[in-house]
Amino acid sequence: MSFGNNTSSITYGNLTAAGTFGNLTTEIFQRPLIVDFLIIGGGGRGGNSEEINNTAYGCGGGGGAGGYRSSWNNEPSGDNHPAENPITDFVLGTDYPVVVGGGASGGGSGNINYYFNSNGGTSTLGSLVARGGAYGGTGTYTTAYDGGSPYNLGGTGGGGGVRSTYGSGSIYGGTYPAATTGATGTGTRSQGGDGADGNINLNGNGYSNYHRTAGSGGGAGGDATRNNNGQSYQGPPQSSTITGTAVLRGGGGTGGGYFLSSSTTGGGGKGGTYASNPGDGVANTGGGGGGAGEGHNGQAAAEGGAGGSGIVIVRYPQGYTLSATSGNLTFTTTQVDNDNVTSFTAGSGNIQFN
């Protein structure tokens, strides 16, 4: 170290102070740029019913939640896998891509398209990818269809559909199992749970038509389930405190039914019934859309709910700034303790740290 008007630096571990010591001016010790993240893909749409003479027949499966990846505070990633490592190799002044995955569109136009299947959009941060959730299976007057699966792409599985109680033959979608997720996300770890199947004839028991539901979608916190009465429950969401408070995100959509549909948390859409239309996944949670129910009047009743859009959140030390250098990203930055927290809620583009 030299004094006078010469500039020098002091290094202690990972902390560096620099300044002109003769003029007694120095910079504050700067923490290294370590970036924690939460990345959630867009949710899948709920499955359709079949519209015949302005009435919905069959029950649609719930949409799967978007893939879920987390590094913050040892909180789990999708399907309760361990937290990932934070990013330590971002270079100041270098562009990195960010994409917020959109939720899968619901509805449709004209006659219901029974194969109107749509997965959620992919969210990215640099080289990290959270896949979209898969669609719920369609139930029609005569047939129950599988829910979607992102296979080896991550994300979560959609629930299987159930055919109508009024069509000929068996009412059970027993040969149409739930979709399952791929074992890994981007080849390294799982991002969410499996959907439940559309078969309500469990253990050979025939359950009341009024209590049956189609399969629900998988969630960030695990698989969708089904109880002994033939009712399906959403794949659970996951909780994160990266923004300073605990928030549930990544809930699967529940399957549609005739008399009832299960409640949801974490942004998943509730399935429809004879008296209600299915619900959409909540924006920026990656929640899956609710499946269409049976017996309700109108075209909208036979259309599965839309998936909720995803989100990308980064947490990094104060003293660094983050800016968008291209694209149409929508984001806000707040201060939490000694960190900055930036939440990207829509769009795509490049960012830089400086």
- Same domain? For 156 and 16 the reply is no
- Same domain? For 340 and 195 the reply is yes
Nearest to 37 by CA among 10, 75, 7, 80: 75
Length of the chain: 354
Task: Kindly give the parts of the chain with pLDDT less than 70.
Answer: 1-29, 107-117, 144, 149-155, 162-190, 199-212, 228-229
- Same domain? For 151 and 237 the reply is yes
Give me the pLDDT at residue 117, please: 67
Kindly report, residue by residue over 275-321, the tens digit of the pLDDT. 889 999 999 999 999 998 888 777 777 889 999 999 999 999 999 99
Contact 200, 228 (CB under 8 A): no
DSSP string, 233-268: EPPP-EEE-TTSS-EEE-PPPPPPBSS------TTP
Domains of the chain: total: 2
- Same domain? For 149 and 10 the reply is no
- Same domain? For 236 and 292 the reply is yes
- Same domain? For 25 and 74 the reply is no
Give me the pLDDT at residue 203, please: 41
Per the structure, the complete domain to which residue 125 belongs is given by 34-354
pTM of full prediction above 0.95 = no
Please give the Cα distance from 158 to 324 (Å, whole number). Answer: 34
Coil/strand/helix, residue 326: strand
- Same domain? For 162 and 17 the reply is no
- Same domain? For 296 and 207 the reply is yes
Please give the Cα distance from 208 to 231 (Å, whole number). Answer: 10
Give me the pLDDT at residue 178, please: 36
Please give the Cα distance from 26 to 207 (Å, whole number). Answer: 75
Please give the Cα distance from 255 to 273 (Å, whole number). Answer: 10
- Same domain? For 25 and 115 the reply is no
Nearest to 43 by CA among 226, 251, 215, 184: 251
What is the residue whose two structure tokens read 């749509």?
118
- Same domain? For 14 and 45 the reply is no
Give me the pLDDT at residue 48, please: 87
Nearest to 227 by CA among 246, 239, 248, 212: 212
- Same domain? For 150 and 9 the reply is no
- Same domain? For 318 and 350 the reply is yes
Give me the pLDDT at residue 169, please: 40
